[in-house]
Amino acid sequence: MSGFSKYIGGISIRNKIFIANILIIVVFISTQSYFANTISQKALIEKEINNSSRELVLIKNNLQTLIATIEDYSKILASDYRLQNVLYNDLLLNSEFNASRPVEGLNNLSMKKTLSETISNIVEPNTKIKAVSILTSNRHWVDVGFADNAYASRIFGDDYGADDRFYQPTWTSLIKFGFLYEGEHNVIAVSKSVIHKDTGKMVGRVFLYVKEATIASIYEGENKGGEFYIVDSAGRIISSQNKAMLYRDFKEAVSITIPENGKDTAFTQGSGKNEMLIFTQRFEPLKWTIVSVIPMDDISSDRKQINQLMIGIGAACLLLALIVSFLLSGSITRPIFQLAKTMREIRTGKMQVRSTYQSKDEIGYLSEGFNNLMNRIEALMAENVEKQRTKAEIEFKLLQSQVKPHFLYNTVETIISLIKLGLGKQAIQAAQYMANFYKISLSKGNDIISIGEEMRLTESYLEIQQLRYVEYMTYTMEIDNEILTYSIPKLTLQPIVENAIYHGLKLKKEKGIIRITGKRSGNNVEIEIYDNGAGMHNNQSKAIMAGFSALDEAGGFGIRSVSNRIQMLYGERYGLQVESEFGVYTKIKIVLPLRHH
Residue 385 sits at φ, ψ, to 5 deg, of -60, -40
So what's the pLDDT on residue 528? 95
pTM equals: 0.47
Confidence of residue 238 (pLDDT cuts 50, 70, 90): very high
Same domain, residue pair 254 and 295: yes
Q: Quick one: angle between helices 303-347 and 13-34, nearest 10? A: 150
d(CA 224, CA 274) in angstroms, rounded, equals 18
Same domain, residue pair 102 and 132: yes
Domain at 464, CATH number: 3.30.565.10
Please list the residues that pair with 108 across neighbouring strands.
none
Choice between 261 and 553, residue whose per-residue pLDDT is larger: 261
CA 583 to chain CA mean position, Å: 22
Same domain, residue pair 186 and 104: yes
So what's the pLDDT on residue 511? 87
Q: What are the pLDDT digits (tens) for 179-204?
A: 888 889 999 999 999 998 888 888 88
Is 59 inside a domain boundary?
no
Residue 102 above 70 pLDDT? no
Same domain, residue pair 204 and 257: no
Is 177 inside a domain boundary?
yes
d(CA 400, CA 442) in angstroms, rounded, equals 11
Is 186 inside a domain boundary?
yes
Residue 482 sits at φ, ψ, to 5 deg, of -60, -30
Is 318 inside a domain boundary?
no
Q: What are the pLDDT digits (tens) for 443-467?
A: 766 788 899 999 998 998 888 888 8
So what's the pLDDT on residue 10? 59
Confidence of residue 423 (pLDDT cuts 50, 70, 90): confident
Mean pLDDT calculated for residue range 425-448: 79
d(CA 128, CA 166) in angstroms, rounded, equals 25
So what's the pLDDT on residue 6? 56
Q: What are the pLDDT digits (tens) for 557-586?
A: 578 778 888 888 888 889 899 998 888 899
Is 366 inside a domain boundary?
no
Same domain, residue pair 271 and 184: no
How many domains, the chain?
3
Domain at 247, CATH number: 3.30.450.20
**End of a domain among 198, 215, 232?**
215
d(CA 354, CA 189) in angstroms, rounded, equals 76
Is 130 inside a domain boundary?
yes
Domain at 99, CATH number: 3.30.450
Residue-by-residue DSSP string for 502-542: HTTGGGSSS-EEEEEEEEEETTEEEEEEEE-SS---HHHHH
Q: What are the pLDDT digits (tens) for 364-401?
A: 777 777 777 777 765 665 566 566 666 656 555 555 54
Residue-by-residue DSSP string for 107-126: GSHHHHHHHHHHHHTTSTTT
Task: Provide the strand spans (E) within 396-464.
Answer: 448-450
**End of a domain among 215, 247, 262?**
215
So what's the pLDDT on residue 551? 40
Same domain, residue pair 581 and 555: yes
Residue 406 sits at φ, ψ, to 5 deg, of -65, -45
Choice between 89 and 441, residue whose per-residue pLDDT is larger: 89
Identity (one letter) of the amino acid at 304? Answer: K
> 130: which DSSP letter?
-
d(CA 29, CA 282) in angstroms, rounded, equals 45
Burial class (CB in 10 A: 0-12, 13-18, 19+), 590: buried
Q: Are 225 and 298 in contact (CB under 8 A)?
A: yes
d(CA 249, CA 232) in angstroms, rounded, equals 10
Same domain, residue pair 209 and 233: no
Residue 269 above 70 pLDDT? yes
Same domain, residue pair 137 and 239: no
Is 487 inside a domain boundary?
yes
Confidence of residue 96 (pLDDT cuts 50, 70, 90): low
Same domain, residue pair 228 and 163: no
d(CA 58, CA 72) in angstroms, rounded, equals 21
Task: Provide the strand spans (E) within 83-153.
Answer: 131-136, 141-142
**End of a domain among 275, 299, 323?**
299
Q: Which residues of 126-145 are buried (b: 16+ CB within 10 A; e: fewer)?
A: ebbbbbbbbbbbbebbbbbb
Residue 200 sits at φ, ψ, to 5 deg, of 75, 5
Same domain, residue pair 289 and 185: no
Confidence of residue 526 (pLDDT cuts 50, 70, 90): very high
User: 13-17: long-range contacts (C-beta < 8 A, 24 or more apart)?
Assistant: 13/329, 13/333, 14/329, 14/330, 14/333, 17/325, 17/329, 17/333
Residue 571 sits at φ, ψ, to 5 deg, of 110, 170
Q: What are the pLDDT digits (tens) for 456-497?
A: 989 988 888 888 887 878 999 999 999 999 999 888 898 899
So what's the pLDDT on residue 87? 86
So what's the pLDDT on residue 99? 46
Residue-by-residue DSSP string for 574-593: -EEEEEEETTTEEEEEEEEE
Same domain, residue pair 263 and 117: no
Q: What percent of the chain lies above the pLDDT cut of 70?
A: 78
So what's the pLDDT on residue 103? 46
Is 348 inside a domain boundary?
no
Same domain, residue pair 443 and 486: yes
Choice between 197 and 41, residue whose per-residue pLDDT is larger: 197
Average pLDDT, the chain: 79
DSSP-derived 3-state class of residue 335: helix
Domain hosting residue 170, numbered range:
79-215
Report CA-CA distances (Å) from 302 to 37, 298, 308: 11, 9, 10
